[in-house]
Amino acid sequence: MPNFTENKERIGFLKGRSAQVSGNYYARLGRREIAREEYQQALASYDTVYQTLPDFAEAQKNKKTVLEMLGELLLELGRWLQNKFDKSTKAGWLSPEDIFGSNAFSRKFTTRNQQAVKRAKVINLGANRVALVIELDELSESHEIRVLMRVYPLGEPTHLPDNLKFTVIPKSGKPYEYLAESHHPAFETEWFFKRGEQFRVKIQLNDVTVTEDFVI
């Protein structure tokens, strides 16, 4: 433990810790945006402490943890291609059969590539619930990753609600907003990304918006 010339640095470190643990709390509740803000605040506090006390190991250790937590807020789709689902399962991404039941899913979902990885998540849009299903595979020639995103209604009614908007926001690039056709049994869009690319998906029904952040 370094010798604190005054407790200003110690307080700075403790404030960083408060932001860090608050970030953990919000991440647990699925409030990713607020968690991200808290983590960024924690990083800023640890960086300020580092400027005065570069040998403060605990601050450095915490900073590393916060960076990892920030990374975890992004869903790493590349891991799915290695059949690693641990972290995404914690975030609610399950096999489509777990969500729809195996028979129902095979009836609903016509896959484009039998080998593609498929995961699904329940999205709560107020009184309506839908499932976001992602099908993922790597193209052999371009090495790009094909991301097929589909939205299905869950429960009754068996068609998509009116006014459902689906927006894909690539980190580098122009966002695209789609208006899902009402009374259709599903919505889909296909995108191609390079490894390391980040994008956000926003699903909006009237006043309720749910976002999911991904990195390939």
Site string for another protein, 31-60 (x = CB under 8 A): x-xx-xxx--x-------------------
Chosen residue from 1, 115, 156, 157 binding another protein by CB under 8 A:
156
For 148, the 3-state DSSP assignment is strand
Given the complex with another protein, which of 94 and 116 has the nearer CB atom?
Answer: 94
Chosen residue from 2, 17, 97, 167 binding another protein by CB under 8 A:
17
Task: Report CA-CA distances (Å) from 110 to 18, 113, 127, 135, 146.
Answer: 47, 9, 27, 11, 16
Chosen residue from 2, 10, 52, 67 binding another protein by CB under 8 A:
10
Any residues with CB less than 8 A from the CB of 153 and at least 6 apart, and which?
128, 129, 130, 159, 160, 161, 185, 186
Give me the least distance between CB of 12 and another protein, in Å please. Answer: 10
Given the complex with another protein, which of 30 and 54 has the nearer CB atom?
Answer: 30
The answer to whether the beta carbons of residues 78 and 216 sit under 8 Å apart is yes
For 199, the 3-state DSSP assignment is strand
For 214, the 3-state DSSP assignment is strand
Tokens found for residue 154: 């869950």
Chosen residue from 21, 44, 57, 104 binding another protein by CB under 8 A:
21
The answer to whether the beta carbons of residues 215 and 196 sit under 8 Å apart is yes
The count of residues interacting with another protein (CB under 8 A) is 28
| Segment lying near another protein (by CB under 8 A), choices 52-60, 72-80, 105-113, 203-211 | 203-211
Q: Does 141 participate in binding another protein (rule CB under 8 A)?
A: no
Q: Does 22 participate in binding another protein (rule CB under 8 A)?
A: yes
Give me the least distance between CB of 178 and another protein, in Å please. Answer: 18
Distance of CA 45 to the CA centre of its chain: 25
Cis peptide before 54 (omega within 30 of 0): no
Tokens found for residue 81: 């291609």
Chosen residue from 3, 5, 11, 193 binding another protein by CB under 8 A:
11
Chosen residue from 43, 74, 84, 124 binding another protein by CB under 8 A:
124
Any residues with CB less than 8 A from the CB of 29 and at least 6 apart, and which?
none
Which residues lie near another protein (CB under 8 A)? 7, 10-11, 14-15, 17-18, 21-22, 24-25, 28-31, 33-34, 36-38, 41, 124, 126-127, 156, 207-209
